[in-house]
């Protein structure tokens, strides 16, 4: 984001809401009061937010006159430019990878289903179950999501789905700059494919060698 902003003649200001909806609303109000040109908004985790807080955030975004782009996490009932990895495809890739190794009892740990990405990954998982007619879990092969910095440092390096983080930031900046120039176009969703990163946490089921996990 910083590189894209600077190359377009804009400065970057970062606000941290610390996953707090109230602080998030306050930050947007602050940015509006400073008459900024636009902002990229990654919504906070809303699992512990009250219905009133969620409503206030929705109304804040719906009435916001400053151009903005939503990144990664969607907000229910707010229809705006949205940039994210294709989480449904990511869930599908992870599940199909295990299936092609020979696993047939495959589980899915989603995290909170109030999170849009978690719900879409679950749909991708279910799509594979439906396609191949497989049943639910028991084997200990493991696929993670996000490819965090620790994934390759575990005692058993973790097979994972990697999101195109740099591309998402670049595209969010480009879309926002376009909004600043012309804020009258129809808002869109932009999804970009994640990638399966194969490491050592998956093996063929019932293999004779030492279990990987």
Q: Which class for 92: exposed (0-12), middle (13-18), buried (19 or more C-beta within 10 A)?
A: buried
pTM of the model: 0.70
- Of residues 89, 44, 93, 97, the one with CA closest to residue 71: 44
Q: Which CATH architecture has domain 85-162?
A: 3-Layer(aba) Sandwich (3.40)
Non-local CB neighbours of 49 within 8 Å, separated by 6+ positions: 21, 57
> Per-residue pLDDT for the chain (213 aa), expressed as one digit of tens each?
767 666 777 888 889 998 899 999 999 999 999 899 999 999 988 767 888 998 999 999 999 999 999 998 888 889 899 999 999 999 999 999 999 988 887 888 777 777 788 888 888 988 998 898 875 444 457 788 877 776 676 656 878 889 898 899 899 999 998 888 888 778 889 999 999 999 887 878 765 444 333
Domain boundaries 2-84+164-193, corresponding CATH code: 3.40.50.2300
pLDDT of residue 138: 41
pLDDT of residue 184: 75
Q: Do domains 2-84+164-193 and 85-162 have the same CATH topology?
A: yes
pLDDT of residue 206: 62
Decide if 141 contacts 102 (C-beta within 8 A): no
For the chain, domain boundaries: 2-84+164-193, 85-162
């Amino acid at each position: 984001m910083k590189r894209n902003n600077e190359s377009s003649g804009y400065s970057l200001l970062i606000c941290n809401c610390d996953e707090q909806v109230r602080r998030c609303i306050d930050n947007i109000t602050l940015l509006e009061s400073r008459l900024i040109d636009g902002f990229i908004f990654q919504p906070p985790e809303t699992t512990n937010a009250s219905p009133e807080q969620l409503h206030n955030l929705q109304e804040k975004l719906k009435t916001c006159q400053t151009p903005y782009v939503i990144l990664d996490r969607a907000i229910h009932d707010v229809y705006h430019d949205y940039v994210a990895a294709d989480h449904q495809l990511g869930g599908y890739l992870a599940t199909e990878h295990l299936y092609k190794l020979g696993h047939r009892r495959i589980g899915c740990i989603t995290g909170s289903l109030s999170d849009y990405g978690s719900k879409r990954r679950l749909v991708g998982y279910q799509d594979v179950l439906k396609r191949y007619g497989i049943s639910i879990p028991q084997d200990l092969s493991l696929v993670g999501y996000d490819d965090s910095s620790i994934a390759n440092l575990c005692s058993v390096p973790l097979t994972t789905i990697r999101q195109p983080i740099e591309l998402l930031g670049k595209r969010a900046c480009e879309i926002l700059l376009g909004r600043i120039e012309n804020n009258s176009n129809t808002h869109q969703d932009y999804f970009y494919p994640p990638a399966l990163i194969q490491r050592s946490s998956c093996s063929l089921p019932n293999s004779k060698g030492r279990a990987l996990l």
